[in-house]
Amino acid sequence: MVVDFKRARNDEQRTERRRQIVDTAATMLTEMPVAKLSLNELSRRAHLAKSNVLRYFDSREAVLLELLDAELQEWLAQLERSLEPIDGTPRERGDRFAAILAESLARRPVLCDLISTQATVLEHNVSTEVALRHKRATRLAIETQARLVLRYVPELGAQDATRLVAVTTLITAAAWPYSQPPEAMLAAYAADPAVAALRVDFTDLLRQTLAVTISGLLARREDLPVGAAPIDLNASEPVL
């Protein structure tokens, strides 16, 4: 049911209305994947006409991009609070950090689903203003995550920490859909153990990929000339 629409009269009311719409989308994504979330159903659940939702967001994709940015911020804040110092060699600390990242992302299926559709769906059908706001938020998230990487493996340096962030995003985007098979694939896995071996375990795949990436980046740094200047994180090339 759509209730009578009351236009937001000030910035506080507009912010609250936007938050209501984004929160509704977040709740829906606990029940369905991004692909099945329609603007019509979002409007219905937010108790607004579709035209009224579009007063606050360009499109369904604009709503989901804002949700993605919020989910990233929440994930990184939680990750930072949970990180504890560990001892060991750079590789041992890298392995542990890879496991922490993989496990923390696996506990956030909504975030993983949003990341998996970011480039192919969510960044389409939005205005330049929305795209710019999203990419600025993305850059801040990259910098925050890179700093967390350096807390565990400072030997990587700023540029390689940023590269690890890019790999984390790309592997999450690729692996998540494969780890959420439809009913026909689940039935095929259940019917044939040889076929079942092809099923992707998201956490394990991400953990292994990140651990190997960290080891590889560390090995490459060992080949740098002695005294090579560190690279400023803010000056590193864009990765997303």
Identify the CATH number of the domain defined by range 59-235. 1.10.357.10
Q: Following DSSP, what letter does each residue of 39-107 receive, concatenated?
A: HHHHHHHTTS-HHHHTTT-SSHHHHHHHHHHHHHHHHHHHHHHH-----S-HHHHHHHHHHHHHHHHHT
Q: What pLDDT does 9 receive?
A: 64
Q: What's the pLDDT at 1?
A: 43
Per the CB < 8 A criterion, the answer to whether 102 and 167 are in contact is no
Contact of 116 with 64, CB cutoff 8 Å: no
> What dihedral angle (degrees, nearest 10) is formed by the CA atoms of 153, 142, 101, 166?
-90
What string of pLDDT tens digits covers the 240 residues of the chain?
444 445 656 668 788 999 999 999 999 999 999 999 999 999 999 999 999 999 999 999 999 999 999 999 999 999 999 988 889 999 999 999 999 999 999 999 999 999 999 999 999 999 999 999 999 999 999 999 999 999 999 999 999 999 999 999 999 999 999 999 999 999 999 999 999 999 999 999 999 999 999 999 999 987 655 444 444 444 444 444
Of the candidates 106, 97, 213, 99, which has an alpha carbon nearest to the alpha carbon of residue 151?
97
Domain 1-56 has CATH 1.10.3470: no
Task: List the structure tokens of 110.
Answer: 């909504």
Question: Which helix (H) or strand (E) segment is 211 a member of?
Answer: helix 202-221
pTM: 0.86
Burial state string for 4-22 with b = 16 or more CB within 10 A and e = fewer than 16: eeeeeeeeeeeeebbeebb
From CA 161, how far away is CA 139, in angstroms rounded? 14
Residue 115, SS3 per DSSP: helix
pLDDT of residue 230: 45
What are the residue boundaries of the structural domains of the chain, listed by start?
1-56, 59-235
CA 109 to chain centre: 10
Rounded to the nearest 10°, the torsion over CA 22, 28, 30, 35 is: -100
